[in-house]
Structure 1
Amino acid sequence: MSVFKGISFKRSNVREFLFFLLLTAIFAVLSKLSKNYTTVYTIPIQVENVPIDKVVSTIIPSTLEITTNLNGFAVLSNQFSDFKLLIDFDQLEKTASEAYRYIPDGHPLEIAEVLSGVSEITAIRPQQVTIQVDALASKEVPVYPTIEAAYETGYGPKEEATLTPTHVTVVGPKTYIDTITFIQTKKQDFTDVSDTILTQLRVDSLALPQEIKLSSYTFEYKQEVTKFTEGSFSIPVKVVNKNANDVKIFPKTVEVYFTVSLEAYESIKAIDFEVICDFSKHTNQDDFIILDLKKYPNTVKSARLGTKQIKYIVVN
C-alpha cells in the first residue's frame, strides 16, 4: 500500500513551494557571486604601433601572469573574454641596438583594464619582458612548384611547365630573410593525366616563420600535355679522331629510336641525328668502341641507340 494514499496536494501549494525553492537558489548564487576571489590569469602580450621599418621578432616571455582580487560576477564575466595586453611601442624602454624592455609594474592601470571588474592586482609576473625588434629586410627569391603528375600511357609533358609569378618578394626580419633562398608551394597530385594541367598553387605557409610576409601567396601553374609516339631511323656511324689509321667498323649504321609528340613527328628527319664513334677512346684490349648519340632534335622528348657499341679493326 502506498504511503501517500489518502494524501492530497493543492496545486497552489506546489507552485508556492517551487517559487520559494527557486528564490532560495537565486539568493545562494548571488551570495556566492558577491564574494571576492583570488584569481590568476595568463594574458598574451602584443606590441602595437610598431614603426613601419621595424618588426617585433621575439617577446620573452610572451605572456603575463596576473594575480587579482575579483568578485564572483567579474570572475564569471572574464570566463567568456579573450584577453590580450596591447603594449604601445612608445612605452618600451630601449636597452640595446635592437633590444627593448617592458616593466609591467610600471603600468598597473593599463594591465587592470584588460580584465573586467578588477578591484585589486596583487601580483604581476614576470617583473620584466624583453622584446627583440629587428629592422625589416626584403629580397626576391624563386618559387618552386611541388607537383606529382602520373600520365596516361602515351601521354607526357609537351614543354617545361610555367609558373606565374616565378619569383616573390619576401619581407620580414633580416635574421629570417637571410635564411630563405626559395619558396615552395603545397604539393598537388594528378593522376591519369591526358590533358593540359592548369591549376592554382598556394604557398606552404606553415613552413615559413609567422613574421615573414610575401608579395604573393598564390601562383598559376600550367603544364601542356600531348600524346607521344615512337619512331626510328637507321643512322650512319661517323668515325672521328682516327688519325692516320685506316679503321673499319661493323656495322656501319645503327638504329636510333626516339619519342616525339604526334604533332612534331612529321618534322623529324634522319639528318637531324648524328652518331659518333670516337676512336681515341678505344683500348687495345677490346675489339669494340662505345657509340655516342651526339645530336638529335630539340623537339624529341627522348632518344636512344639500338646498338650501344660496334666492332672495329685497324687495317695496316
Structure 2
Amino acid sequence: MLNSLQTKLGQSVKSKKLNVFGLFFLLAFLILVITKLSDTYVETIPFKIQYKNLPDKNIITLDSIPSVNVTVSTHGFKLLSYYFQNKNYQLDFEKNTFIKDNNYVWIADQGIYDIKQHLGNNVDVISVKPDTLIFPFGTLSVKKVPIILKSEINFALGYDTLNGFEITPDSVNIIGAQKEIDTINYVETKPFNLENVKTNINSNLGLEFSNSSDKLKLSESSIHIIAQVEKFTEGTFDVPISILNLPNTIELNYFPKQIKVSYYVSLNNYKDVKPTDFIIECDYSDVLKSGQSFFKPKLIVNSTQVKSARMKQNKVEYIIK
C-alpha cells in the first residue's frame, strides 16, 4: 500500500511539471508569433477586378475577368488580415479610365489612390502589375424575340383546352452585344410538364437562358401562363358539298353529295354548334390543273367554339354528263 501511494505522488508531481512546461511552451510560442507578425514584410496580393460605374449602354467583351498583383510593404498583422478579406478591387470606369479606340484604358498610376484606400492605413504600395489594363467594350443592342413554351401537358380523358395556352408576355427583349444577340431567334421557357390535367392552368414559369453568354440580359425573367380547361365531347354532322368554278357549259354528276364531319367541342358549347358552321368545297379548277378524276374536298370551319374537325372521307368522285 505504501508503494502504491508513492507511485501516485510521483505521477502527480510529473503531471504538474508537464502542465507547467506546456503553459510556458505555449506562452513562448505566442510571444514568438507576435514578434514575427510585428515585423515588416513585402508581399504580392492578387486582386480581381470588379466593374464600377460602367455605363449601362456599354458591355465589356473580355472572356475573363482580369486581375492585378499589388506588391505591398506592411507588418505581418496587416498581411494576415488580407487572407480573410475579399480580394476584389472595384475599378471605377468614370474616375480611373479613359477611352481609346473602343477600349477603356486603366493605368495603375491613376488608380493607385483607390488601391491604397482599399488596403487601408500603414500599407505602402510598392508596385502594381500589370501597370495598364485594356478593356474592349461594345455598345449594347436590343432584339425582341418570341417566347416558346417548352411543355409536355397531358389532359385527362375527355378534357382539353379550347383556346390553347396564353403566355404573358409572349416576347422578350435580349440586351447585349450585337454580334451575340444576332444568333438568338427565340427564348424557351423552363420545362412545364403536367399529367392528367382536369382543371384550369394558372402559373408562373421562368425562362431558360443559362446556356447563353452571361453578358446577355433579358428584359423579363419569367412569364405567366393560363389555360381554360373544359370537358370536351365529339359531335358529327352530314355536310353538303359545294362545287366551285364549274363552267356553265359543263354538267357533271358527283358522289357522295355530302360528307360526314366529326368535330371536337367543349361540352358547354356543344348545343351552340350548327351544321351551317361547316362548309365543304370542291374546286373544279383544281382537277383541271391536276388532271385527276376526282375532287379533293376542303373543309372550312366557321365556328371559334370548335377546337378541331375532320371529314370522314377525303375523295369525291365525279363524271361529266
Structure 1: how far apart are the matches of 2:124 and 2:57?
A: 36
Write the deviation string for residues 236-259 of structure 1: whole angstroms up to 9, x where unpaired.
222233322221122222211111
Write the deviation string for residues 97-131 of structure 1: whole angstroms up to 9, x where unpaired.
x4321111444343244336774444422231123
Which residue in 1 is equivalent to 2:71? Answer: 67
Provide closer, same or farther for how the CA distance between residues 230 and 63 of structure 1 changes in structure 2, counting only shifts above 3 A.
Answer: same
Structure 2: how far apart are the matches of 1:15 and 1:263?
A: 91
Structure (1/2) with the larger helix percentage: 2
Structure 2: how far apart are the matches of 1:277 and 1:174?
A: 51
Which residue in 2 is equivalent to 1:261? Answer: 266
TM superposition score normalised by structure 1: 0.81
Decide whether the 8 Å contact of 1:70 with 1:117 is kept in 2.
no
Identical-residue share of aligned pairs (%): 27
Which residue in 2 is equivalent to 1:311? Answer: 317
Matches within 5 A, 1:272-283: 272-282=277-287
1:206 counterpart letter in structure 2: S
1:264 counterpart letter in structure 2: N
1:17 alignment partner, one of 17, 21, 46: 21
Decide whether the 8 Å contact of 2:150 with 2:189 is kept in 1.
yes
Of 20-29 and 129-138, deviating more is 129-138
User: How far 1:170 sits from its partner (Å)?
Assistant: 5.7
TM superposition score normalised by structure 2: 0.80
Q: Does 1:270 align with 2:275?
A: yes
Q: Does 1:228 align with 2:232?
A: yes
Q: Secondary structure at the match of 2:298?
A: strand
Which residue in 2 is equivalent to 1:302? Answer: 308
Q: Does 1:163 align with 2:167?
A: yes
User: How far 1:56 sits from its partner (Å)?
Assistant: 4.4
Which residue in 1 is equivalent to 2:3? Answer: none
2:300 counterpart letter in structure 1: K
Aligned length: 310
Which residue in 2 is equivalent to 1:95? Answer: 100
Write the deviation string for residues 1-43 of structure 1: whole angstroms up to 9, x where unpaired.
xxx9684332543431221122133234334434555543321
Of 149-158 and 205-214, deviating more is 205-214
User: How far 1:158 sits from its partner (Å)?
Assistant: 1.9
Q: Secondary structure at the match of 1:297?
A: coil
1:231 counterpart letter in structure 2: G
Q: Secondary structure at the match of 2:210?
A: helix
Decide whether the 8 Å contact of 1:37 with 1:72 is kept in 2.
yes
User: How far 1:269 sits from its partner (Å)?
Assistant: 1.3
Q: Secondary structure at the match of 1:73?
A: helix
Provide closer, same or farther for how the CA distance between residues 194 and 64 of structure 1 changes in structure 2, counting only shifts above 3 A.
Answer: same
Structure 1: how far apart are the matches of 2:11 and 2:90?
A: 65
User: How far 1:184 sits from its partner (Å)?
Assistant: 4.1
Decide whether the 8 Å contact of 1:138 with 1:169 is kept in 2.
yes
Structure 2: how far apart are the matches of 1:189 and 1:40?
A: 54
Provide closer, same or farther for how the CA distance between residues 56 and 295 of structure 1 changes in structure 2, counting only shifts above 3 A.
Answer: closer
Provide closer, same or farther for how the CA distance between residues 140 and 281 of structure 1 changes in structure 2, counting only shifts above 3 A.
Answer: closer
Matches within 5 A, 1:1-316: 7-10=10-13, 12-50=16-54, 54-58=57-61, 62-88=66-92, 89-96=94-101, 98-115=102-119, 119-132=123-136, 142-167=146-171, 183-206=187-210, 210=214, 215-243=219-247, 244-282=249-287, 287-315=293-321
Please report the RMSD computed on the Cα atoms of aligned residues, expressed in angstroms: 3.4
Structure 1: how far apart are the matches of 2:232 and 2:252?
A: 39
Write the deviation string for residues 267-306 of structure 1: whole angstroms up to 9, x where unpaired.
1111221112223333797543322213442221111111
User: How far 1:266 sits from its partner (Å)?
Assistant: 0.9
**Unmatched runs of 5 consecutive residues or more in structure 1:** none
Structure 2: how far apart are the matches of 1:205 and 1:282?
A: 51
Write the deviation string for residues 104-163 of structure 1: whole angstroms up to 9, x where unpaired.
144434324433677444442223112345556657655444333222222222214333
Write the deviation string for residues 27-69 of structure 1: whole angstroms up to 9, x where unpaired.
3433443455554332122343345x64343468622122334
Provide closer, same or farther for how the CA distance between residues 119 and 202 of structure 1 changes in structure 2, counting only shifts above 3 A.
Answer: same
Structure 1: how far apart are the matches of 2:172 and 2:245?
A: 50
Decide whether the 8 Å contact of 1:78 with 1:116 is kept in 2.
no
Structure 1: how far apart are the matches of 2:148 and 2:189?
A: 6
Structure 1: how far apart are the matches of 2:167 and 2:239?
A: 39
**Unmatched runs of 5 consecutive residues or more in structure 2:** 1-5
Decide whether the 8 Å contact of 2:162 with 2:305 is kept in 1.
no
